[in-house]
């Protein structure tokens, strides 16, 4: 299914500017292609809602032109938009207490389909990361999280040598997030929030994707029951908490009832309050409507529903 087909914007409308030529782009796009279903349903900018980056001591906004330029602030530059996949990077760097630059890949201008961005990620989707010190770029959120943890030798994803069992556990769940939780939540959001809002209520698709998304959320709830929390693997936060959080937190937007998933609810509450996750969710800007009450007001939700759906056309058969 082509996501571009859902966008009311023509691919050609993408501005032909922006990123300086990457000297090398590490293409990881195909392996995790399933996650492309993370739907742009939740991804496009609303022109009518205030979009202001949150306050972070570690984050610095830069322009596309500066993305490859070395900087004393950080070796890394995140190319992101305010979506479940985009937020993974700020949350990661906030959790690592590691300074990072970021620049907005503006979906409102279709910049994710610009020639310059496609050179970094031929899949035309955020996030992507530039590591100026090693002169490489990498796309696909799972590959990015792995790369940063590995490069900074972070315990969020222990190396094979340090802890083989935990290493494999993290990898297994990370790949599950990008191939199952993300796409199922994305499709559920698309059919519930975009297609239905536009008068195309497709009960068959809604039932299929809502059920699958619910099953994935139940897996997280079960895992938390087994680990006894407060994190997915017990006492220590991991890269999997980082990867899963924004998607699971969007159960409201995906219209999945998690009322009976008490472990999941406790974990979400805990991470919503954890400073690194809380701050990460505001870079490049916050979209509280995805998380529903008590994190969003009715006005937030009403504004996001209209604005988000307005960015899409329904594909014609
Ligand atoms: N498998 C990719 C999925 C990336 C993805 O789908 N990104 C969405 C935002 S959440 C996107 O860039 N959508 C823009 C578009 O489809 O044009 C990953 O994990 O990074």
What is the C-alpha separation between 125 and 113, in angstroms, rounded? 8
Asked whether residue 176 carries a pLDDT value surpassing 80, the answer given is yes
pLDDT-derived band at 266, boundaries 50, 70, 90:
very high
Asked whether residue 235 carries a pLDDT value surpassing 60, the answer given is yes
Asked whether residue 158 carries a pLDDT value surpassing 70, the answer given is yes
What pLDDT is attached to residue 21?
A: 34
Asked whether residue 32 carries a pLDDT value surpassing 50, the answer given is no
Question: What tens digit of pLDDT does each residue of 40-61 get?
Answer: 433 443 445 778 999 999 999 9
Asked whether residue 36 carries a pLDDT value surpassing 60, the answer given is no
Asked whether residue 26 carries a pLDDT value surpassing 70, the answer given is no
What pLDDT is attached to residue 24?
A: 38
User: Do 205 and 191 meet the contact criterion of CB atoms below 8 Å apart?
Assistant: yes
What is the C-alpha separation between 292 and 283, in angstroms, rounded? 18
84 lines ligand 1 (CB under 6 A): yes
| 159 Cα–ligand 1 center, Å | 27
What is the C-alpha separation between 248 and 221, in angstroms, rounded? 10
Q: Going edge to edge, which strands form the sheet with 59-61?
A: 25-26, 136-139, 128-131, 76-80, 100-104, 59-61
Question: What tens digit of pLDDT does each residue of 98-157 get?
Answer: 999 999 999 989 999 999 999 999 999 999 999 999 999 999 999 999 999 999 999 999
What pLDDT is attached to residue 51?
A: 85
114 lines ligand 1 (CB under 6 A): no
143 lines ligand 1 (CB under 6 A): no
Asked whether residue 16 carries a pLDDT value surpassing 50, the answer given is no
Q: What is the mean pLDDT of residues 275-289?
A: 97
What pLDDT is attached to residue 12?
A: 22
What pLDDT is attached to residue 263?
A: 98
What is the C-alpha separation between 202 and 77, in angstroms, rounded? 40
Q: What is the mean pLDDT of residues 146-173?
A: 98
| Choice among 211-225, 241-255, 260-274, 302-316 with the minimum mean pLDDT | 302-316
Of 192 and 22, which is predicted with more confidence? 192
What is the C-alpha separation between 145 and 95, in angstroms, rounded? 12
What pLDDT is attached to residue 309?
A: 80
pLDDT-derived band at 312, boundaries 50, 70, 90:
low
Output the furthest CA–CA distance in the chain (Å, rounded). 54
- Nearest ligand 1 atom to the CA of 178 is 19
What is the C-alpha separation between 307 and 24, in angstroms, rounded? 37
What is the C-alpha separation between 178 and 172, in angstroms, rounded? 10
What pLDDT is attached to residue 293?
A: 96
What pLDDT is attached to residue 316?
A: 74
User: What six digits make up the tokens of 116?
Assistant: 């310059």
User: What six digits make up the tokens of 171?
Assistant: 């990898």
| Choice among 63-67, 73-77, 108-112 with the minimum mean pLDDT | 108-112
Task: Pick the residue whose CA is nearest to atom 14 on ligand 1.
Answer: 125
What is the C-alpha separation between 31 and 50, in angstroms, rounded? 36
Asked whether residue 315 carries a pLDDT value surpassing 50, the answer given is yes
| 162 Cα–ligand 1 center, Å | 32
What is the C-alpha separation between 62 and 60, in angstroms, rounded? 6
Q: Specify the DSSP element, H or E, that contains 80.
A: strand 76-80
- Nearest ligand 1 atom to the CA of 33 is 1
Count of residues making up the chain: 317
43 lines ligand 1 (CB under 6 A): yes
Q: What is the mean pLDDT of residues 64-91?
A: 97
126 lines ligand 1 (CB under 6 A): yes
By C-alpha distance, which of 52, 56, 230, 246 is closest to 145? 246
By C-alpha distance, which of 281, 218, 282 is closest to 245? 281
Q: Which domains does the chain have, with CATH numbers?
A: 1-317 (1.20.1050.130)
User: Do 277 and 89 meet the contact criterion of CB atoms below 8 Å apart?
Assistant: no
Mutation pick for ligand 1 pocket among 1, 32, 38, 114 (CB with most ligand atoms within 8 Å): 38
Q: CA-CA-CA-CA torsion for 171, 98, 185, 249, nearest 10 degrees? A: 120
| Choice among 20-34, 126-140, 181-195, 248-262 with the minimum mean pLDDT | 20-34
* Residue 312, CA atoms < 13 Å, CB-side half-sphere: 29
């Amino acid at each position: 299914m082509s996501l571009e087909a859902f966008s009311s914007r023509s691919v050609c409308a993408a501005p032909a500017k922006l990123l300086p030529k990457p000297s090398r782009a590490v293409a990881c796009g195909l392996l995790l292609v399933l996650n492309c279903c993370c739907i742009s349903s939740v991804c496009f900018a609303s022109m009518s809602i205030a979009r202001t980056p949150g306050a972070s001591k570690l984050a610095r906004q830069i322009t596309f032109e500066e993305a490859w330029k070395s900087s004393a602030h950080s070796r890394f530059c995140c190319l992101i938009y305010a979506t479940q996949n985009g937020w993974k990077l700020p949350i990661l760097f906030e959790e690592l207490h590691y300074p990072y630059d970021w620049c907005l890949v503006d979906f409102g201008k279709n910049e994710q389909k610009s020639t310059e961005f496609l050179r970094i990620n031929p899949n035309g989707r955020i996030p992507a990361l530039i590591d100026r010190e090693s002169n490489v770029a990498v796309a696909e959120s799972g590959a990015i999280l792995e790369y940063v943890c590995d490069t900074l030798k972070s315990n969020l994803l222990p190396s094979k040598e340090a802890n083989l069992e935990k290493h494999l556990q993290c990898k297994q769940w990370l790949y599950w997030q990008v191939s199952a939780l993300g796409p199922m939540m994305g499709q559920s959001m698309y059919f519930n929030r975009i297609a239905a809002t536009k008068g195309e209520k497709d009960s068959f698709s809604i039932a299929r994707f809502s059920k699958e998304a619910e099953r994935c959320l139940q897996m997280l709830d079960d895992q938390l029951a087994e680990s006894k929390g407060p994190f997915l693997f017990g006492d220590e936060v991991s890269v999997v908490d980082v990867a899963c959080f924004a998607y699971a937190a969007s159960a409201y937007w995906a219209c999945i009832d998690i009322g009976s998933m008490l472990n999941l609810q406790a974990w979400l509450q805990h991470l919503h309050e954890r400073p690194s996750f809380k701050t990460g969710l505001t870079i490049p800007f916050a979209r509280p409507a995805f998380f529903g009450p008590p994190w969003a007001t009715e006005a937030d939700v009403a504004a996001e529903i209209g604005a988000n759906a307005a960015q899409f056309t329904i594909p014609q058969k």
